[in-house]
Amino acid sequence: MSALQGIRVVEMAGLAPAPFCGMILADFGADVVRVDRVGAGSMDQLARGKRSVAVNLKDPAGVETVLRLAAQADVLLEPYRPGVMERLGLGPEIATARNPRLVYARLTGFGQDGPYASMAGHDINYIAISGALSLIGRKGEVPLAPVNLLGDFAGGGMLCALGICLALLERAHSGKGQVIDAAMVDGAAYLASFVYKFRNSGMWRDERGTNMLDSAAPFYDNYRTKDGQFMSVGAIEPQFYTALLHGLGLDAAVMPHQMDQSKWAETKQRFADLFAAKTREEWCAVFDGTDACVAPILNMWEVADHPHTGARGVVLKDAHGKPEPAPAPRLSRTPGDGSRPLPQVGADTRAVLRGFGFGDAEVEQLFASGAVG
């Protein structure tokens, strides 16, 4: 039994955030049917565990096919700019009129309304106006975008999946679906709630790189090792800081007080010199098993073989033997399954349509007309 077993999801093909959202649902047991374009090339890498139907959305019969799928689905997930689904004839008013129980999830960067709603953008733009990007980077340097993890995948795909689960839970009581406006701007701002609230209470400075958690503190930063690798340090609490000093071979009695910010730069340089004197492996031998809050910064290809992440199976191997993250979080009775392969575009068209009640002759007619493929 899977956590989302019996939940049918129709996912309109898109890039990055929406496919990730759909993959989360698929990993935990939902039957995710991805609507790809007829003639599309290879499947993107976030289609694990999904099935693919190829549909021509320029053909009225193709549009009607998607509406019939949505009429029997629990969730419709779409990644387009506002108005695109309406122009296709697949907007929420039409879809929910046929299926009042449908959870219609709309995942965009800027949201369904507001002056920026119709503008093009990417993760870096969404986290920029959320306030989150302004927090990331060192003092005196330009803000540093954290790849596209914060907007696309955390504030976008992950929170959209949460919204879908919340709507499904509410539907169990009301019997009604609803429309979800999942905007990456909103999500990135929500993820920054901790810093917003710290700033409101006077515990966070506006100047980047001057706060305890944004690289100013010597006990919360990353350090280069002798072999060109890196160690992370997060020894915030006094007892953890004492353990850090002990591991570095420093006498706490003669060191500046941990919270003496006037000495942070001096202490950081001392830490940097010490970390640079040993390899990453040597520092792991010193700190592994201690409460110093020190851990190696692993490259993605190292995670599978690290003693901790390897033991927990944080990553698994795909069909080609390459590492990819396992589903998270871990449920004791109904865990996620990340072992299913990627589909080929349109490979499941016939099986999906028949499973959704299309007759054999009807399916073949759709193929013959080019409405599906």
Class of domain 220-317: alpha beta
DSSP, collapsed to helix, strand or coil, labels residue 351 as: helix
Position 111 scores a pLDDT of 98
Q: 136: exposed, middle or buried (C-beta count within 10 Å: 0-12, 13-18, 19+)?
A: middle
DSSP 153: I
**Residue-level pLDDT at 119:** 97
Question: 320 catalytic, yes or no?
Answer: no
CA distances from 51 to 9, 117, 161 (A): 10, 31, 18
Q: What is the pLDDT of residues 155-214, one digit of tens each?
A: 999 999 999 999 999 999 999 999 999 999 999 999 999 999 999 999 999 999 999 999
Mean pLDDT of 243-253: 97
Report DSSP letters for 12-29, one per residue: E--STHHHHHHHHHHHTT
C-alpha span between 291 and 330 (Å, rounded): 25
Q: Is the pTM of this model over 0.85?
A: yes
Residue closest to 370 by CA, chosen among 57, 34, 51: 57
Q: How far is CA 247 from the centre of its chain?
A: 35
Q: How confident is the model at residue 32 (pLDDT cuts 50, 70, 90)?
A: very high
Give residue-wise pLDDT tens across range 84-141.
999 999 999 999 999 999 999 999 999 999 999 999 999 999 999 999 999 999 999 9
pLDDT tens-digit series, residues 102-113: 999 999 999 999
- Which has the closest alpha carbon to 216: 260, 152, 257, 186? 260
Parse the chain into domains and list their residue ranges.
8-191+343-369, 220-317
Is it true that 8-191+343-369 and 220-317 share their CATH fold?
Answer: no
Catalytic residue among 36, 123, 152, 348: 152
Predicted local confidence at residue 159, as pLDDT: 98
List 122, 181, 246, 318, catalytic entry: 122
Maximum CA pair distance of the chain? 85
Fold classified for 8-191+343-369: Rossmann fold (3.40.50)
Q: Whole-angstrom distance between the N-terminal and C-terminal Cα of the chain? A: 32
DSSP symbols for 51-120: EEEEE-TTSHHHHHHHHHHHHT-SEEEE-SPTTHHHHHT--HHHHHHH-TT-EEEEEESS-SSSTTTTS-
- Closest-CA residue to 296 (of 223, 242, 244): 223
Rounded distance, CA 106 to CA 98, Å? 18
Q: Is the peptide bond before 143 cis (omega within 30 degrees of 0)?
A: no
- 59 in catalytic set: no
pLDDT at 43 exceeding the cut of 90: no
**Mean pLDDT of the region 311-331:** 93
What's residue 202's pLDDT?
A: 95
